[in-house]
Amino acid sequence: MPISRRKFMQNMGLGLAAAGMAGGELACIPESGESASEKLLVDNPAQPEPAALGYDRLPLSWYRTAAEKLRDRAAADGVDAVLLGSDPNLVYFTGCFRGSGERSTWALFPVGEKDSVYWYSPAIDRDLITSWWCTENESYFCYPHAAGGFPNRGQASPGPRVDLWEWVLEGLKKRGFVVGVIGVDTELSPSRMKTFRRILPRAEVMDISAICLKMRMIKTPEEIALTQRAYRYFDKIHAFARDYILERGTDATDFEIGQALQTYGINLMMKDVRRDGRPHSAVGMDVTARYVRTGVATAYPHPNQFFYNRVRKGDALYVNTDIRLGGYGGECYRNYQIAPWTPEQEKMWRVVAECVQIQVEESRPGALCCDIAAKIHQNQVSSGLAECIYHRPAHGAGQNFEGHQPPFIALGDHTALEAGMMFSVEPGLYDAARGFGINPSDCLLVTESGSVLLSRVPYSTEWSFLTL
């Protein structure tokens, strides 16, 4: 029989060693077992329908379609082959979740071949790539790679270091791409351009990064549904965190709160996710809470210290959570004011809540990012909090390996909003002199008629102002 939330929190109070067991049991509480905080969540019929259980990642067919659209758009600009080398694009257009680091990886899409992808990769990712969507995979051993150095093939002698950019261009040459236009997803440096001209003197290169970025910026219905499902977990995670704070009170540290909600969140998600222990299931998943912090640490937008402070009465408390499900999700932060709070804390909370509402009301197709930012900043300035402004109000919400993504709700970004764009919502304000700050976040989806927040966690005094 599942343990109660109160019992779970008591177990957590005995030490974080209990977190795995208790969090797992708590995640099994049925929907009818709503806590006090869950009852405060606000339903919004304008939110999109979340992806159904079992739809834990985008299917391979989605990625094949995305790659086909990319080939078609690049071909319209005269491109003969698309060569992708950045992790955000490799995952977005192939669906193979993996990270390159210093081990460079490329995927080649000839525009004349409808369903082909040729990989150039390190041996470490061989099984991930060949078990997914792969027409052919050519591998080097590891970074730095030595000519002829393939211990995995019994060749373990040192050799001259291989220039991997030259190596992949030789791969294109062998496939017959010695003339025509090669579309790449980054601007080539002078040295790389020099190598390109030496290996493929009759070919041309075109930067197609803008095409790739625009496709990643405008979310499809499938991406939106998966993101909405991720935010359903956010709702429960934040309700749990609020209950936890109320139960543990000043006995808890910010570190403990973060560990508890992370454990709860992972267990909550994993009870729904289908997985078999092999590659390509349960991919792009994470729940992080590294920036949960209390007291003076909230007064800095990017503090650099480790957070291990006990919650105190009068504190501002910042609960940070990032979540990914199949690579989709984002940020969902909330701030709490612990009684007794000051008039300055009340005012800052009110102004931030107003700015959240401004972003929601002003975000619609055709609106300019800079104009939305200006209205938010003008509200902050007119409220007498200019010295508390440290950053832009929002960034585009990326997927997979990309947290921040253009466009930005910023004074210098003149991009017009389009339906399908997603943004963070963080008009943060920080008072270092008084030792507190407030910076919530959410996910704002631009719709055909306006915009909608994807979480059900309210921006209300009932939710945010707590007496311990």
d(CA 391, CA 324): 24
- Here the contacts of 163-169 (C-beta below 8 Å, separation 24 or greater) are 163/195, 164/104, 164/140, 165/104, 165/192, 165/195, 166/195, 166/199, 167/120, 167/140, 168/83, 168/104, 168/106, 168/120, 169/195, 169/196, 169/199, 169/200
Tabulate helix, strand, coil % of the chain (nearest 5).
40, 20, 40
298 with 309: CB under 8 angstroms?
A: no
Query: Strands 328-331, 322-325: parallel, antiparallel or unpaired by DSSP?
Result: antiparallel
| Alpha helix ranges (H) inside 342-454 | 343-362, 369-382
For the chain, the domains span: 5-53+220-466, 78-207
Task: Report the Cα–Cα distance between both ends of the chain, in Å, rounded.
Answer: 30
Residue 104: CB atoms within 10 Å = 17
d(CA 210, CA 95): 20
Residue 42: what pLDDT?
96
Q: Give the residues of the chain that fall short of pLDDT 70.
A: 1-33
As to burial, measured by CB atoms within 10 angstroms (0-12 exposed, 13-18 middle, 19+ buried), residue 14 is exposed
Total-model pTM:
0.92
242: part of which helix (H) or strand (E)? helix 221-248
322: part of which helix (H) or strand (E)? strand 322-325
d(CA 290, CA 55): 27
Residue 309: what pLDDT?
97
CATH architecture of the domain 5-53+220-466 equals: Alpha-Beta Complex (3.90)
Among candidate residues 218, 236, 282, 231, the one with its CA nearest the CA of residue 49? 231
d(CA 402, CA 404): 6
pLDDT tens-digit readout, 167-191: 999 999 999 999 999 999 999 999 9
The DSSP code sequence of 140-152 is E-SSSPBTT-BGG
Angle between helices 221-248 and 5-14 (to 10 degrees): 70
d(CA 67, CA 92): 9
pLDDT tens-digit readout, 10-41: 444 444 434 444 444 443 344 456 899 999 99
335 with 348: CB under 8 angstroms?
A: no
Is CATH 3.40.350.10 the classification given to domain 78-207?
yes
Residue 28: CB atoms within 10 Å = 13
d(CA 5, CA 7): 5
d(CA 295, CA 412): 32
Residue 30: what pLDDT?
42
